[in-house]
Amino acid sequence: MITSRSQDITGFLLVIVFVLLLLIVAGDGLFVPVGYYLAVSLVAFAVALLFRPRPGFLVGVALALSVIFIVYLWVALTADHVEGLLILGQVFSLPGALLGLLLAAWKIRRRVGSSSIAALLIAAGGVLLGFLINQILVCNTLMYCGVFSLRFLL
């Protein structure tokens, strides 16, 4: 259980460093610099801190970003060839993740007495849901994102 802000910040950094090390070891099939992943994480960290979230919230944000990064990495590394505008689909879906983060931060601030597990789940759920909704919209209306487009399934 995460009981303090310093534990939350430490947990956030550990999760992000793990993902960065995974990218360095496995290689990045999307061919973007590691600084991109670090910048996205630091922006999410700064935005989350503006709301002075409950302990656990930052770890939830880091876990959600890690899921996003690792899924894209897995798709890029296992594909025969990376088709479509895969990385642009991720970049253009990040505003949805940011909106999900903002809504989750607003929701968790209004809940009195919520635990760190609740903060973690609300943060991760908000970021992932916002990203997913934006991903569906972007990759099915504006551009083709390979396996993330519904046209791929048809």
Q: In angstroms, what CA-CA distances link 29 with 4, 19, 85?
A: 37, 14, 13
pLDDT at position 6 over 70: yes
The residue assigned the tokens 């809940």 is 111
Domain range annotation of the chain: 5-153
Digit-coded pLDDT (tens) for 8-44: 999 999 999 999 999 888 887 778 888 999 999 999 9
